[in-house]
Amino acid sequence: MQRLRTFGIVAHVDAGKTTLTERMLHAAGAQRHVGSVDDGTAATDWLPQERARGISITAAVVRASWGGARLQIVDTPGHVDFAAEVERCFGVLDAVVVVVDGVRGIETRTAALWREVARRRLPALVFVNKLDRPGADAAAVAQAFDAEFGCRTVPLVVPLADAAGRFAGLGCARTGAVQWFAGQPEAAELPRLSAAVRAAHDRLVERLADVDATVFAAVVDGRELPALELLERLQLAVEAGHLVPVLAGAALHGRGVDWLLDAVVGLVGDSAAALARRAPVPGAGDAAAPFAGQVFKVQHFGAVWNFVRVLRGRLVPGLRCGRSARPEAVVPVVEVLAAHADRHRALLVAEPGEIVVLQGELGLRTGETLFAVGMPAQAPEPEFPAPVLAQTFEPDQSDDGPVLLAALREVALDDPTLRVDREYGQTVVRGMGELHLDVVADQVAARCPAPFRRSPLRVDIRRTVLGPGSGRAESRAVVAGGERGAVCRVAVEPAAGLAAATVRAPAAAALDAGLAGSVQAAVAALGHEVRLHAGGPLVGALVELQDLAVDGGVPVEALVEQAAVRALAQALAVAGTVAIEPWVAFEIHCPEASCQAVVADLGGRGAELQEVVAGQLGARLRGVVPLRRMLGYVTRLRSITRGGGWFEMRPIGGRPAAAD
C-alpha cells in the first residue's frame, strides 16, 4: 500500500495527455514501443472510434512501476463532450497531473478541470508541455495559474535555452541537476544556465518557507536544506494543497518525462493514506477491514467490464458482495482482473487503492458501492450534467427498431450522460454535444447490423415552474361491472436548481391500504409525464400526489393514470411554466485580421462577449451564448477565418428561452 500511487492525467483537448501517458509507460518499461495518437497505436486510445478520430473518448487505466513505487495512471479525455468520463474518474484519484500546452497556456477546459481539482482538494502537479515549439513559455503558464486560480505555484523543473534561445535542456530546482539534450552546452553558457537553475531553487525555497515552519527556520538560520529533506517538506505542502509544483518538458520527444515520474513518486502520497483522508467510508484504506469498493465505470465492449476501486479490505475471487443499489442482491466475484487499458490480467488479491475489473453482466451501474455481505457501505455517487442536444435515431426498416433500440440502450449503460427515450413512437437520444452524439452513432453502428438514420440535431429544451400550483381531476369510464372513476389531486412547486423534477407520493398512513397499487400507477404516470412533457422535460420542480380516490376502492389503473396526468396539467397551468434552454461558455481563437468579423457574427447570435485579448496565437474571445445559436458554428468559423479559427464550448446551465 505504501508503494501504490494513483493519479490521473487531465488537460484541455490536444495538450498532449495521451502522448505523455505513452512516454511514461515507455520510460517505466511497461511497454517496449511508444504509441502514437496520430497513428492510432496509443495503448490508452484502444477504442476503434478513438483510433479513427485521434482523440480520447473513454478514460483508460494503465499500470507501471517507477522508483520502487507501483503506479496506476488514469488517462482521461480532453474534449468537453466527454467531461462526465473525467468526472467519474476524479472520485478514484489520489492526485492529478494537469497538462498545459506551453504555447496556448490556460484554456477553457483547463480552467474547468482546475475548479474540480480545487473543489475536491486533490494534490496537483502541472506539466507544461510542448516547450519545443516556438512561443512556448513555462514561466508565463505558472504566472497565469497564480493569477487566474489564486494558487501558489513553485518551479520544480525549468526549461533551459541554448545561445540561440531554443529549448535545449531542463534544470531541477530541487537538486540542481541538469539535462542537456544535444551534447554539452558551450562553456560560455554555463554561468547563465547555472544562474537560471539557482534562481529556480531560491524561488522554490522561498515559496516553501512561506508555508512550512521548518523551511522558514532554515532560511532564517542561513542553512541549506538537503535535497531529500526539501523533497519531504515539499511533499507535505503539496499534499495539503499549499503549493503546486510546475514541471516542464516536451512529451512527444520524451523530454522531462522521467523527472515528472520522479515527482509523482516523491510528492504524491500513498493510496492507503489518501483513502483514509478522503474516502467517506468507515475504515477506508484499511486492508484488514471488511471489503468495500466503488464501481466508477461500466463498459460494454464484447465482454462487460465493471471497473471497481477497492476502498477498504481485500477483494479476492470467490467473495460474495452486496450492492448499495439493491442490498438484498448478491454479486459473486468469479475473477479479479488488474486494469490495464484493454488488456487485463488475473489477480489473486486486490488491496485498498487498487483499480480492478470484474468481468461479466453483473447488472452494476456507475457510482454504486460493493461490500462484503452483511457489512454494508455507501460511497457518494457522482453527479452528472443533463444532456443538452437531442436527435432521433430511426431504422431504415421498421422491423429493425427493437435491434436499434437494444444497441442504443447498451451504449447508454456505459454512459451516464446519454439518455435514450421512446417518445410518441420515436427513439430520441440525448447527449452532451455534436461530437458526443457522433461517437454514439459510431458505437451503435458497430453493435447494430441494421442501417439507421439520424434527424438533424436540436437543442433539448426543458421547462420549469414559475410558482406553486394545485390541480384536481377526475376520470370516469364504463367498464365491466359498471361505471368506475378515479380522482387525483396533484400539487407542484419550484425546487432549487434545474435537476429533473421529483415525484413524491403521499404517506402510506394518509391512504386506504387497498390503494397501494393505485398510488404506484399514479406515481409512475406522473414520472412518465414530467420526463416526456410535451413542452420539454420538467426540471427544477417538486410534483406531489396529494390525494387519490377510486370508486368502491376497486382500482382501474388506466383511469388512475389519466386522472393523475390531467391533475398535473391543471397544476402546471396554475403555477405557470417557462421554457429553459441550455447556454454555453465559449472560447474562440482566431487570426487578429478576422477578429472583427468573428465579433460581428457572434453579435448576431445573441452572444454576450466577456473578453477579447490578443495573444501569441492571434485573438482570443470568451463569452456565453445560447447553445441553439451555435449549432454548426464550426463551419461558419472556418469560413470567416479561412480555416484559421477554432473554438471550445462547455455547458453552463440553462436560462429562460428568448424568442428569435
Digit-coded pLDDT (tens) for 326-384: 888 899 999 999 988 888 889 999 999 999 999 999 989 899 999 999 899 999 888 88
**Extended beta strands in 269-396, E state:** 292-301, 303-312, 320-323, 331-332, 336-338, 345-347, 355-359, 369-372, 389-395
Please tell me the predicted confidence (pLDDT) of residue 306.
93
Confidence class of residue 50 from pLDDT cuts 50, 70 and 90?
confident
**Extended beta strands in 145-188, E state:** 153-155, 157-161, 167-172, 178-180
pLDDT of 453 over the 90 cut: yes
Please tell me the predicted confidence (pLDDT) of residue 38.
65
Please tell me the predicted confidence (pLDDT) of residue 660.
57
Q: CA-CA distance, 164 to 144, in Å (whole number)?
A: 26
**Which tens digits make up the pLDDT trace of 604-614?**
999 999 999 88
Q: What is the mean pLDDT of residues 413-419?
A: 89
8 Å CB contact between 119 and 240: no
Please tell me the predicted confidence (pLDDT) of residue 34.
83
8 Å CB contact between 348 and 319: no
pLDDT above 70: percentage of residues in the chain: 96
Confidence class of residue 481 from pLDDT cuts 50, 70 and 90?
low
Please tell me the predicted confidence (pLDDT) of residue 559.
84
Cell numbers representing residue 97 in the block: 497531473
Give me the sign of the Cα torsion angle 428, 432, 437, 439: negative
Q: CA-CA distance, 208 to 533, in Å (whole number)?
A: 57
pLDDT above 90: percentage of residues in the chain: 52
pLDDT of 618 over the 90 cut: no
Least confident segment among 156-165, 427-436, 528-537, 641-650:
528-537
Domains detected in the chain: 4-276 (3.40.50.300), 287-372 (2.40.30.10), 392-459 (3.30.70.870), 467-575 (3.30.230.10), 580-656 (3.30.70.240)
Q: What Å distances lie between residue 374 and 222, 318, 331, 367, 601, CA to CA? A: 59, 16, 13, 20, 62
pLDDT of 615 over the 90 cut: no
Q: Which has more confidence, 153 or 518?
A: 153
Q: What is the mean pLDDT of residues 41-46?
A: 75
Closest CA to 499 of 543, 468, 534: 543
pLDDT of 99 over the 90 cut: yes
- The DSSP 8-state label assigned to residue 223 in this structure reads P
Please tell me the predicted confidence (pLDDT) of residue 507.
60
**Which tens digits make up the pLDDT trace of 574-587?**
999 999 989 999 99
Please tell me the predicted confidence (pLDDT) of residue 278.
86
Residues 6 or more apart in contact with residue 649 via CB below 8 angstroms: 80, 108, 433, 584, 585, 586, 587, 627, 630
pLDDT of 513 over the 90 cut: no
pLDDT of 554 over the 70 cut: no
Q: Which has more confidence, 570 or 55?
A: 570
pLDDT of 509 over the 50 cut: no
Confidence class of residue 530 from pLDDT cuts 50, 70 and 90?
confident
Q: What is the mean pLDDT of residues 91-98?
A: 93
Closest CA to 294 of 276, 310, 275: 310
Phi and psi at 331, nearest 5°, equal -105, 115
Q: What is the mean pLDDT of residues 624-647?
A: 89
Q: Which has more confidence, 271 or 53?
A: 271
Task: Work out the mean pLDDT of the chain and round it to a whole number.
Answer: 88
Please tell me the predicted confidence (pLDDT) of residue 372.
94
Amino acid letter for position 372: A
Q: CA-CA distance, 321 to 291, in Å (whole number)?
A: 8
Q: What is the mean pLDDT of residues 244-250?
A: 97
pLDDT of 506 over the 60 cut: yes
Please tell me the predicted confidence (pLDDT) of residue 93.
93
8 Å CB contact between 167 and 256: no
pLDDT of 598 over the 90 cut: yes
Q: What is the mean pLDDT of residues 112-124?
A: 92
Please tell me the predicted confidence (pLDDT) of residue 199.
96
Q: Which of the residue ranges 178-182, 527-531, 556-560 has the most confident prediction, judged by mean pLDDT?
A: 178-182
Q: What is the mean pLDDT of residues 153-175?
A: 93
Least confident segment among 42-56, 149-163, 311-325, 481-495:
42-56
b/e burial code for range 579-592 (CB count within 10 A of at least 16 → b)? ebbbbbbbbbbbbe
Q: What is the mean pLDDT of residues 140-151?
A: 94
8 Å CB contact between 404 and 427: yes
8 Å CB contact between 649 and 586: yes
Q: CA-CA distance, 157 to 319, in Å (whole number)?
A: 46
Beta bridge partners of 538: 463
Q: What is the mean pLDDT of residues 492-514?
A: 75
Please tell me the predicted confidence (pLDDT) of residue 39.
66
Please tell me the predicted confidence (pLDDT) of residue 289.
95
